[in-house]
Structure 1
Amino acid sequence: MAETVPLDSAWLKANPLPGHHDHVDKNGRGRVLVIGGCRRVPGGMLLTAEAAFRAGAGKVTIATIESAAIPIGVAFPACAVLALPETPGGEISPASAELILDEMADHDAILFGPAMIDQQIVRELLAAMLPSLPPEMFLLLDAFALRAAADHAEAIRARGDHVVLTPHEGELAGLLGLDREEVARDPASALAVAVERFGCTVMVKGATSHLMAGDTRLGYAGGGLGLAVSGSGDILAGLIASLGAQGLPPLQAAAWGIWLHGEAGRRLSEMMGPIGFLARELPPLVPGLMRGV
Structure 2
Amino acid sequence: MAEELRPLDSSWLRAHPLPAPDNDTDKNGRGRVLAIGGCRMVPGGIQLTVEAALRAGAGKIQVATIESAALALGIAMPEVAVFGLSETPAGEIALNRAEPLAELLGRCDAVVAGPAMTDRDCGSKLSRLLAEQCEVQLVLDAGVLMRLADHEAAFRLLARPAILTPHAGELAALLDCDAGAIEADRARAVRAASDRFGAICVLKGPNSLIAEPGGLTFSYAGGGVGLATGGSGDVLAGIVAGLCARGTDPLVATMWSVWLHGEAGRRCAEQIGPIGYLARELLAHVPSLLRGV
The TM-score, its normalising length taken from structure 1, stands at 0.96
- CA distance in 2 between counterparts of 1:103 and 1:128 reads 13
Query: For the Cα contact (< 8 Å) 2:56–2:287, is it kept in 1?
Result: yes
How large is the Cα RMSD of the aligned pairs? 1.2
Query: For the Cα contact (< 8 Å) 2:165–2:203, is it kept in 1?
Result: yes
1:51 aligns with 2:52: yes
Q: Which residue of 2 aligns with 1:147?
A: 146
- CA distance in 2 between counterparts of 1:192 and 1:67 reads 39
1:132 aligns with 2:124: no
Query: For the Cα contact (< 8 Å) 2:163–2:199, is it kept in 1?
Result: yes
Deviation at 1:88, TM superposition (A): 2.1
Q: Which residue of 1 aligns with 2:17?
A: 16
Deviation at 1:128, TM superposition (A): 2.3
Question: Which stretch shifts more, 155-164 or 266-275?
Answer: 155-164
Poorly superposed stretches of 4+, deviation over 2 Å: none
Q: Which residue of 2 aligns with 1:233?
A: 233
Q: Would the alpha carbon gap of residues 7 and 248 (structure 1) be closer, same or farther in structure 2, given more than 3 Å must change?
A: same
Alignment of structure 1 residues 175-214 onto 2, 5 Å: 175-213=174-212, 214=214
Deviation at 1:160, TM superposition (A): 6.2
Deviation at 1:2, TM superposition (A): 5.7
Deviation at 1:4, TM superposition (A): 1.5
Deviation at 1:114, TM superposition (A): 0.7
Deviations 1:141-196 (A, max 9, x none): 10011112111111111116331011111111111111211110110011111122
1:36 aligns with 2:61: no
- In structure 2, runs of 5+ residues without a counterpart are none
- CA distance in 1 between counterparts of 2:97 and 2:56 reads 28
Bigger share in helix:
1
| SS of residue matched to 2:129 | helix
- CA distance in 2 between counterparts of 1:121 and 1:180 reads 22
Report percent identity of matched pairs: 51
- CA distance in 2 between counterparts of 1:161 and 1:102 reads 20
Query: For the Cα contact (< 8 Å) 1:211–1:219, is it kept in 2?
Result: yes
1:63 aligns with 2:60: no
Alignment of structure 1 residues 86-165 onto 2, 5 Å: 86-134=87-135, 137-159=136-158, 161-165=160-164
- CA distance in 1 between counterparts of 2:165 and 2:197 reads 13
Deviations 1:219-256 (A, max 9, x none): 10010111000000000000001111111122111111
Query: For the Cα contact (< 8 Å) 2:45–2:116, is it kept in 1?
Result: yes
| SS of residue matched to 2:96 | helix
Deviation at 1:282, TM superposition (A): 0.3
Amino acid across the alignment from 2:265: G
Question: Which stretch shifts more, 153-162 or 176-185?
Answer: 153-162
Question: Which stretch shifts more, 279-288 or 247-256?
Answer: 247-256
Amino acid across the alignment from 1:176: L
Question: Which stretch shifts more, 154-163 or 30-39?
Answer: 154-163
Query: For the Cα contact (< 8 Å) 2:64–2:83, is it kept in 1?
Result: yes
Q: Which residue of 2 aligns with 1:7?
A: 8
- CA distance in 2 between counterparts of 1:279 and 1:166 reads 16
Amino acid across the alignment from 1:6: P
Query: For the Cα contact (< 8 Å) 2:53–2:241, is it kept in 1?
Result: yes
Deviation at 1:96, TM superposition (A): 3.9
Deviations 1:11-43 (A, max 9, x none): 001010111111110001010000011111111
